[in-house]
Structures are given as C-alpha cells and as structure tokens.
Structure 1
Amino acid sequence: MNEIDPANRFSLDAVRKLESAGAEPAGRLNKVALQVASQYRRDTMSPVMVSGVLRLVEFALLFASGFVLFAYRVGLNTHLFWQYAAIIAAVSLAAVILLELSDCYQVQALMRPVRNLGRILLVWSGAFALLALAGFFMKVSEDFSRLLFGGWFVIGFALIFGLRLVLSNMIRRWARNGAMERRAVIVGGGKSAEALIRSVEQQPYNDIRICGIFDDRDDKRSPPIVAGYPKLGNIAELIEFARIARIDMLIVALPITAETRVLALLKKLWVLPVDIRLSAHSNQLQFRPRSYSYIGSVPMLDIFDKPINDWDSVAKRAFDIVLSLIGIALFSPVMLITAIAIKLDSEGPVIFRQKRHGFNNEVIEVYKFRSMFTELSDPSARQAVTKNDPRVTRVGRIIRKTSIDELPQFFNALFGSLSLVGPRPHAIAAQSHNLLYNEVVDGYFARHRVKPGVTGWAQINGWRGEMDTDEKIRKRTEYDLYYIENWSLWLDLKILLLTPVRLLNTENAY
C-alpha cells in the first residue's frame, strides 16, 4: 500500500544540521528524534478497522438493494414477506463470508479492485449458487421471483465493485497523507536492519511506514544512517519516543540466535502499548508457516501484541459509554447529596482534580469528590493517606470508606480519559518509602499499556486503599498485568458486578 515515503528518509548532512540546531529536546530525546516524533503525534486509521467497516457497509448495501428490489418488484404485502427478507439477508451474509474467505478484504485486494474483479464476480456468483442449491433441495424455487434475483445479482455486483473502486482511491489518499498506515520503528541497526528495510521496501502495497531506527551500539558498530533512515537514539530514548509518537509496531532486527541481547531488549520494551515483532527474514532457523505473521512476504515472529486493540477497543469504548451513562443516571441522587454534604462540612470546591498517569504514561486529570481540607490537600499524593489521617474531613472519611468519592470518575470514563475497568491510575508522584512506584516494581509502567479504570481486577481481589508497603505495590501490579493479558468484555462485566460487593470490605480504605 505505502511505498516508503521519501520524506521519511534523511541524509547524513540533514541529521547533523538538526543536531546542531538550537532547540532543546524533550526529556532525553535528541533533536532529530524529537522532530521525527512530532510528525507522528496523530492517531491513524487501522487497516483492520477499515476492512471491518467495509464488511458492515457491504452487507448493508447488499441487503438494502435486495430489499428495495423486492419491495418494487414483489411488494411488501406478499405472504412470503419474511421468507424474502430472510433469503436476502442470508445471501448478503454469505457474500461477505465468501469475500472474507477469499481474502478480498485484505488491504492489497482493496487497493487493486480491477485486478480482483474476477474473484469478486466468482464470490457473488457463489452466494447465488448456494441460494439456487438451497431452493432446489427444498423444492421452493418456483415460489420466488427469478426476475427479482436476476436483477439483484447485477445491481449487487455493481454496488460491490463500485464501492471498492471508491475505497481504493480513498485508501491511496489516506496512505499518501499518513492517515492510514502502520508506523514501525526498527530496533537494532547495521547490516541486519538494512536487509530488513530493503525487504520491506520491496513489498508492493504494504502499509508499513518506517519512522526510524534505535540501537544501543555506537556509530562505529551501528551507522547513524541505515538504508536512508536515521538512527534516532538508544533503547531508553526509544521508550521516550514511543510516549510522544503514535507508534504501532517495533520490529527487532536481530537474529534469533542472539538470545541474550534479544531478551535484554524485550525486558525494556514490553512496557510499551505496541506490537513487538522479531524479524525472521534472514534467520537460518525455520519454523512452520503458521508460526509467522507477515509484512508482505517478510516473515515476523510475534513476541507481544498491543492489548485491547482494533475492534476490541471499539467494543470496550462502547461498553464504557453505555454503562457510564447508566451509572451517572443511577447514582446522580447520591452524588447530589454528597456534593451538598461536602459544601456544608468544610470550605472549598466539591470536586478535587488530581494529575495521574493514564494510557501510555500520558498525564490525565481525574475527578473525585474532595475528601480533605482544601488547605491540606495533596494533589501530587507524595504523602499517602493513612488511618485517622487529620487531613481528611468528617464527610471525607465516610465517602472514602464507601468509595463514594470515586463516583465523579463516571464522567472521566464517559469523556474517555478513563475506562470503567482497568488498572487504577496512580498519582504521578505517588511514593512508597520515598521511592516512586516504578522504582519499586520492575516493569511497573506496563500497567499503562491500556487505559486506566475506575475499578479493576486488583481492587476486587483486595488490593485497594493505602499502598504502604512494597509488597502491596507489587501485588497490585501483578493483578493489573493479569487483567491486561486476560482482558475480555465478560471479565470487565464480572469486575463491575463484583465491585459493590468487594466495597463492603473497608479494611484498607481510609
């Protein structure tokens, strides 16, 4: 799909010019990496999502065209109304399934509808062949209008092919302007990275955009420019880069035999919410074909997948919106009474806003009912709330014990900064024995590969409230990582249903 954009290439002179520029980099990133990262701040459309939407649109178009023809040719008052409707729906569904089985929803096929004209015609004919076969064996074919189905065959094929002609032009435009692509970073430089890049470049109509290269080795062992792409920094800087740029994939260009180095890299990189692939294009070890995923014909070994991605993310977002609205409606009397009680009990605002770590380590603002005296509040959470803490108001003790102070987070979930279920977000300066949580737990930031939640798997398993020991932080992180690896909508629903029951245990809530 996307022949590698020349705009992504850098000359050595250009790199040196950027490095000598006066602007200061953000964090540990050098100026070149910062400039490249800033080009990729926007989210892109996923090819999986585009092809998924196309399935729905094609089913709807085929069904609608068949139903309109039925209404015009036969009429809606026929005694076979439901039979016609069921047949039209079944043929439309069969066509979509057959198009899927024949790989007609792959990006390469969508880019070249003319080349796939014969395959599309064969699939649509196959759907009607199944219809004819069913009518023959059920001995009911004479009851239905042949003219109707003949006309639908012609119109339906024209709609499928016409839609794909339009979509192919749209995909090409999206590819040119970067709206639809998979952004990849190469991990590891030198000859292996160059061979990988050349192989990816040779794949026609692939949707990969290479954003740069990161390698821990110095310029003598790993040159600053590889196949026209700059080495943007080391692995620590890659993590900073991926916090800014919307990266989809990390491709590790190291041989499988370099086990120690590969494992060391993966230990650092797995905290990022991206797909991680190990290039297998030049490895001597051969696995079964099903062991690989492919970029064009370039084989990759799947190491980590981005959690809750594509349609899973759509389903989870819809789940959040619907249940957040229900929660707001259901608990609005409680929230109103709480707001009045807070206002009468102490001076200050009703809502307390706190900066916390969100998805991909982004800083978000979380809403809570204020439970502390305004002048004693601790927005950075450097000092954890303890039992009988004098900073907590009378009303605050009640709403913290019952978790009523968390109810405004339904609005966070509705607006999208939180999910209803996920790892609980911690304040950006939360500490244990003067150590930040990420200094206590190795891989702590892997919790941020998904959007944080109002409630979570750790909370319903007893790990809520004060995190006053390193063991509690490790346990909460362990349960959060279990949730990420085992996510499903059923698990989210289970956690939501169990949350009110688990809140009856207020032992650790102060």
Structure 2
Amino acid sequence: MNRKRSFLIRPLIILIDLLTINAIVYFISDKEYLNLTFLSYTTLFWLFISYYTKFYNVYRYTHITRLITLLFSQFFVFALAYLSYFSIFKEGEVVENQFIIFVLILTTITFFKFSTFFLLKKYRSDGKNYRNIVLFGESNVAKYVEKLFHEKNDLGYRFFGFFSDKTYKSKTYLGSINTAFNYILENKIDEVYCESSIISQPQLVEIRKFVTKHNLELRIIPENKAIYSKDFILEYFGTIPILKPKPLPFEQIETHIFKRIFDIVFSSLICIFLLSWLLPLVWIIIRIDSKGPLFFKQKRDGLNGEQFYCYKLRSMKVNSDADKISASKNDKRVTKVGRFLRKTSLDELPQFFNVLKGDMSTVGPRPHINIQTKKYINEVENYLVRNSVKPGITGLAQISGYRGEVIKKSDIENRVRLDIFYIENWSFFLDIKIIVQTVFNVFVKEEKAY
C-alpha cells in the first residue's frame, strides 16, 4: 500500500461497515426490515453516532484499550437509537429478528474492527504503509525517538534523523535547522517533530508555515511543565508527550458535508415556502417602480477565489457603475422600492438559489465585488483567508455591525477579523445564532442598511 494513500483507509472502513450493516439486514430477509425507512434510519444514525463518539478516529498509535472504549461507546448509543426505531415506527412492537440483527451487527463489526487494527499493525511491521520522520531537537531526544520507533515497528514510522543548530557527532545528526527544509522535500518526509525547548518562536512559526504549505504533519514535543494550549491535542508515543495542532473545523470533511446538507435543506424550505409566492409579487412592484430586470447578477469571488454570479433582487436603476462602485448612503441609483429591499435585506433572498447551486452557503463571509477584492488583497492582512470557505448570505461580521459600505479602513479590517474568527471557530450552533440574529436585524433599524 502506498503510504501517501493512507487517507483512503478510514473511508474504506466506513464504507465496509455500512455495507455490512445493510448486508446483514438483507440476508435476514425479513420484510419488516427490507424497506427504505429502516435502512436509511440505521445508516444515518450509525454515521451520526460514529461522528460524535469518534468511532473512526483510530490512528496507527491508538492503544487497544482505546479501541475497546470506542466500541463500547458506539454500540451503547447505537443500541438506544436502534431500539428507538421500533418505539417510533412500530409503537413498541417486538418485531421478529430485531435482536438477532443487532447482535449480528455488533459481533461482525467488532470482529472487523479488531481484525483491521491488528492486520494494519502486521502490515506496518513488515515495513509497509510507513511514514518518514525527522526531528528538530537534541541528540538525547533523537536517540529516544529512534529507539521507540525501532522497538515499536508496528507503528509504521521511519526515523531519518534530527536537525539542530548545535553540532553533534552522531550518525542521525542531519545538519542545522536552516538546511532542513530542502532535506525534508528531497527525502519525502511525512511528519516533522519539534522539541519545543530548543526551537525559538520565529523558527516554530517558519516551520509551521512550511509544513502547512507542503501538506505535512507537525508534532510538538513539549517541555515537562508546558501548559497545553486548547489549540493542540495531547498524544503519547510510548512515554513521549506529543502536541498535535487541532484541525480547524473547515479542515475536516465532516464539517463540509454537514454544512452542505443543512444548506440544501434550509434553502429548499426558503425557496418552496417563501420565494415561490414572494418573488412574483416583488417582480410586479419592482416593474411598476422602475424599468429593468427582476434580478441583478454580479461576478463575485467564491471558494478558493473561483468566480460565480451572485444573484440579488434589483434595487437600483440600471447603471454602468454597478460593478465599480458599491452602494453608499443616499445613493441616487437606489430606487424607492430598492431602498426598502436593501433596508430589510430582502434583496439578498435570491442568493438561496446560489446556495442550492453550491456557489454559496447560508452563513459565511460576505462576497465583495471584484474591484473591492483587488483593492483589499494588498491593503488588509490575511484578506484571502476568507476565500478558504464558501461565501455566505449572512455572516458574523454582518450581524456585528460591519455590513454595507466601507467608510474607513477599520471597517474592512474588523470585517476580515470576524470572518477569520468564524472560519476558525465554526460550529452548527454558531450558524444558527447568526441566522436568528440576521432575522432579528430585519426588524431593527440598522445604521448601515442602505
């Protein structure tokens, strides 16, 4: 197995588990179970529970006791969800074979879980599916790391050596810290370890930028009395404490899947129950007020800077400056109806079509017009971080008062700061809070809603 394809192991295991669950139901061949409701319920709850129990968060250094704990947690909660199906859909009826199915699922997946765990260890102990490692540290730590990975070869690590600004007469000493970066790329290193006591803050920042750029793993070996930051996960390799940077919410595929499902469901409800009858009425009113189309579309930056057409209800007279100048207070281009639409944010409603298409999300950083983006890239630090997620109809910056026209530099700086905070601290409940606050703001007079 190519070590660079290790990321395929977890999705494959999840797929096999789901196929196992559905295969057991199929081979029992009871008509009570061969229906879409039961199969969908079982599959979705299995995935939902496994996400919160971290059932599939098994790594090459995971201990057997941790595996047992995961199995117990998963099946305890799954048992409650599984039996709840019969309470909800069968009104408490004891359906034939319901316990046989659960026991078969439990035993089969437990067997597969342990089998996979030990087979991968055997596979790695044979020198396959390995990861290459270097250390920024001192000789005594390097010796311990080398000894640990040699004795525990089933972890699947190859220790190449260490870098230090001190010179050592050691076969594993590879050179000074400045020479490390070329060596790491030339030798296809996968993980970089740093001994925090000998790495300066500027060096650590440089190393972290390097590993992020080249998609490598970073591990910190802290001092014994180090205060563990909430931004790091503490792990142990043998008796070595390792600090691993916590992945940001949007670095996890589960976040994108969950957010996309919510966007589809929420925007579909808005389109069906609100836009289906509101748009014809608004179209008539807009046509009476001024000549022009119902919708206004404009190119904006989307995910990773890709361009898309952002839709709005037309709130201005047709003009040639729409792509050059954003709306300002008492803007003469804004129509009478348009002023009301902008004040209540109703002009943004067609962006739910953008959400359904996948260009936008319900909540995220607001997309700016292209001429503003070109300007702010050079003026505002970390501006392009906003493009690492899909733009939103509403966002944290907007409910915090930073919407509309940018009058002074601090307006855009605070907007970017809040957008980055949202990206780094996303949660489903934060999205709900932003949506609720956005709806509330419709009924409150906002100073910059023009």
TM-score (norm 1): 0.54
Q: Paired residue for 1:450, among 358, 364, 389? A: 389
Q: Paired residue for 1:376, among 296, 299, 320? A: 320
Q: Determine the structure 1 residue equivalent to 2:265.
A: 322
Alpha-carbon distance in structure 1 between the residues aligned to 2:244 and 2:378: 29
Equivalent residue letter for 2:304: N
Equivalent residue letter for 2:279: M
1:362-398 Cα deviation digits (max 9, x unpaired):
333322223333332432xx43321122333343323
Alpha-carbon distance in structure 1 between the residues aligned to 2:266 and 2:302: 20
Equivalent residue letter for 1:279: R
Aligned ranges 1:16-35 → 2 under 5 Å: none
CA contact (8 A) 1:273 1:360 kept: no
Q: Determine the structure 2 residue equivalent to 1:303.
A: 245
Q: Do structure 1's residue 265 and structure 2's residue 219 form an aligned pair?
A: no
Offset of residue 266 of structure 1: 7.6
Aligned ranges 1:407-446 → 2 under 5 Å: 407-430=349-372, 436-446=375-385
Change (3 A) 1:426 1:155: closer
Offset of residue 277 of structure 1: 4.7
CA contact (8 A) 1:279 1:301 kept: yes
Change (3 A) 1:278 1:395: same
Larger displacement relative to structure 2 (484-493 or 333-342): 333-342
| SS class of match (2:309) | strand
| SS class of match (1:494) | helix
Alpha-carbon distance in structure 2 between the residues aligned to 1:228 and 1:302: 24
| Count of residues paired in the alignment | 373
1:97-127 Cα deviation digits (max 9, x unpaired):
8xx89x8874769xxxxxx9xx99xx89xx8
Change (3 A) 1:491 1:344: same
Alpha-carbon distance in structure 1 between the residues aligned to 2:434 and 2:402: 13
Q: Determine the structure 1 residue equivalent to 2:426.
A: 487
CA contact (8 A) 1:366 1:409 kept: yes
Offset of residue 443 of structure 1: 2.1
1:1-32 Cα deviation digits (max 9, x unpaired):
53358xxxxxxxxxxxxxxxxxxxxxxxxxxx
CA contact (8 A) 1:430 1:436 kept: yes
Percent identical residues: 30
| SS class of match (1:376) | coil
Alpha-carbon distance in structure 2 between the residues aligned to 1:375 and 1:69: 66
| SS class of match (1:330) | helix
Q: Do structure 1's residue 476 and structure 2's residue 420 form an aligned pair?
A: no
Alpha-carbon distance in structure 2 between the residues aligned to 1:310 and 1:369: 33
CA contact (8 A) 2:235 2:241 kept: yes
Alpha-carbon distance in structure 2 between the residues aligned to 1:328 and 1:363: 24
Change (3 A) 1:417 1:222: same
Structure 1 runs not aligned, ≥5 long: 6-43, 73-84, 110-115, 132-143, 167-180, 189-194, 208-219, 232-249
Q: Do structure 1's residue 278 and structure 2's residue 218 form an aligned pair?
A: yes
Change (3 A) 1:153 1:412: closer
Q: Determine the structure 1 residue equivalent to 2:344.
A: 402
Offset of residue 426 of structure 1: 1.8
Equivalent residue letter for 2:264: I
Structure 2 runs not aligned, ≥5 long: 80-93, 117-128, 137-142, 158-177
Q: Determine the structure 2 residue equivalent to 1:134.
A: none
Report which structure shows greater RCO (CA 8 Å, sep ≥6). Answer: 1
Q: Do structure 1's residue 391 and structure 2's residue 333 form an aligned pair?
A: yes
| SS class of match (1:430) | helix
| SS class of match (1:301) | strand
Change (3 A) 1:337 1:488: same
Offset of residue 406 of structure 1: 0.7
